[in-house]
Amino acid sequence: MSSADLISESVAKQAAEARAHLDEHTVKTVQWHFDERTGSPFWLGKKRELKFDPLRDVKCFDDLKKFPLFEDDWLRGGPISRWVPQGHAGKPVYVFETGGTTGTPKSRMVIEDHWKDYELFSETLPDKYFPKGSNWLMLGPSGPRRLRLAIEHLAQFRGGICFCIDLDPRWVIKLIKKGWMEHLEEYKKHCIDQAVTILTSGHDIKCMFATPKLLEGLGEALEQRGTSIQEIGITGIFSGGTEFTPQWTRFAVEEMLGGPVEEGGVFMTPTYGNTLMGLACGKPISKADGYKISYYAPQPRAVTEVVSFDDDSQLVGYGETGRVKLYTLTDEFFVPGFLERDEGEREAPYDTYPWDGVSGVRPYHKLASSTTVGVY
């Protein structure tokens, strides 16, 4: 199908403007990261290995393809300070980790990116379901995770207070690998019990983040107590995880959240993200659309592409399947193309997000068997 069939004239115009903005933002970001005065020791060191001069030769977003692919193994081990742009020297720095079940985890430094990403995300949340000033529950991983602080900031940014649970995802992965399924079930109960305690303690919580599995567990626990997510007072949920399938979404909407939001059910919005990129927003889900889940990155701060399995420099056609490639273009962190462990279908721009999206995100089929999905 040609893009003209999928994209209206007005969206095409918006898309062209967004692209021009992305090109401009790309050049500015590259100038920042490769300038001797502002760049990080890591990228200034890498610059010497490149066969081109990023300061001179990157004139648009597509020029990022001149860079070798970002390798997330570069993020293992220290010193973490090599990633801090000198232009931000002296500012307080957070470190967020991914995975880390065995060996040295991958670390990403952050100064304010997680705040900015979630402030932008906040604009996409409907106040009707995520009322300003209401309190939040963060039903997800604790520890050195970006998500935990980001959700807390989101709650505070919207004038609320965030309640959290203790959840160590590394222990969860170990339980699964050891085959200790009874322990896994007990640990999940332990996490859900904490959430139920918070929700039933009079804190007037209306909004929450939850991973699909934990949301499912919470729904079950509340129903066993004769109540439900809806009855306990939750009106808006944002959820994330690669196991977020249309079928799961349908189950959640139809059987757990009191039906479609138009019929009085709890509002749920899916998101897709990681420590490298931040988070991509979901196009509103509907039964009419087969509960299809499409994500759009917060361009120009981050970009997702769906590229050919055989050639990561080639985009697949709209509706076609490929591997998810992401870019991070903030003044704190620079990722000029990273092949995610996920695949999906390329989605066309639309008026809310006039740039490419990705739908049907799932583990990349060649890596799927080695991917362990935990409770979160």
The residues of the shown chain that bind other proteins, judged by CB under 8 A, are 179, 181-182, 185, 213, 216, 219-220, 223, 243, 245-248, 250-252, 255-256, 290-291
HSE of 167, CA atoms in CB hemisphere, 13 A: 30
Closest to other proteins by CB, 103 or 179: 179
- Position 214, amino acid: L
- Positive or negative, the CA dihedral 347, 63, 362, 219 is negative
Minimum Å distance from CB 342 to other proteins? 16
For residues 302 and 326, the answer to whether their CB atoms sit within 8 Å is yes
> Does residue 179 come out as left (phi exceeding 0), alpha (psi in the -120 to 50 range) or beta?
left
Closest among 89, 90, 111, 107 to 99, alpha carbons compared:
107
Minimum Å distance from CB 283 to other proteins? 16
Minimum Å distance from CB 58 to other proteins? 41
49 phi and psi, to 5 degrees? -85, -15
Cα separation of the two ends of the chain: 37
Minimum Å distance from CB 280 to other proteins? 21
Minimum Å distance from CB 116 to other proteins? 34
Minimum Å distance from CB 372 to other proteins? 10
HSE of 193, CA atoms in CB hemisphere, 13 A: 6
For residues 318 and 348, the answer to whether their CB atoms sit within 8 Å is yes
Q: How far apart are CA 16 and CA 11, in angstroms?
A: 9
Closest to other proteins by CB, 11 or 215: 215
Closest to other proteins by CB, 223 or 231: 223
Minimum Å distance from CB 271 to other proteins? 19
Separation in Å, CA 240 to CA 76, 180, 243: 25, 25, 8
Minimum Å distance from CB 120 to other proteins? 30
E strand or H helix that includes residue 97: strand 94-98
Tokens 């109540």 belong to which residue?
227
Closest to other proteins by CB, 1 or 368: 368
Q: How far apart are CA 84 and CA 16, in angstroms?
A: 33
E strand or H helix that includes residue 81: none
